[in-house]
Amino acid sequence: YRSTRTSLFDGIEEGGIRATSYSSHEIDEQENDRAVDGLQDRVSILKRLSGDIHEEVETHNRMLDRMGNDMDTSRGFLSGTVDKFKMVFETKSSRRMGTLVASFVALFLLVYYLTR
């Protein structure tokens, strides 16, 4: 009976609780460890975010490069078309043909809008 009672009240001495064996240095170390763990979590989150941002930037750069190439191709087609129009309108007979085509297009558009 005496040994179980002693084990039950092992942490209590003369009406009070025994002081903990932790020193302030050990408590500071535990707080520092928790702070370091928190910082490691934040750093890993920032690393993942920066990786995602890098992938997004690379994707946008590839898309802009393709769009630039498409614009260069379009510019080439447009300059060829403009050169052809210049050749057509240099001679007088071509001017008449151009005027005739333009008047037919204008007449067609006028009839289209009037019937609508």
pLDDT in tens, 20-59: 555 677 778 888 888 888 889 888 889 999 999 999 999 9
Contact 89, 95 (CB under 8 A): yes
Average pLDDT for 93-102: 79
CA distances from 78 to 71, 73, 91, 94 (A): 10, 9, 21, 20
Domain definitions of the chain by residue range:
17-91
Model confidence band, residue 1 (pLDDT cutoffs 50, 70, 90): very low
pTM for the structure as a whole: 0.44
The 10 Å CB-count burial string (b at 16+, else e) for 70-84 is: eeeeeeeeeeeeeee
60-95 confidence digits (pLDDT tens): 999 999 999 999 888 888 888 888 877 766 766 667
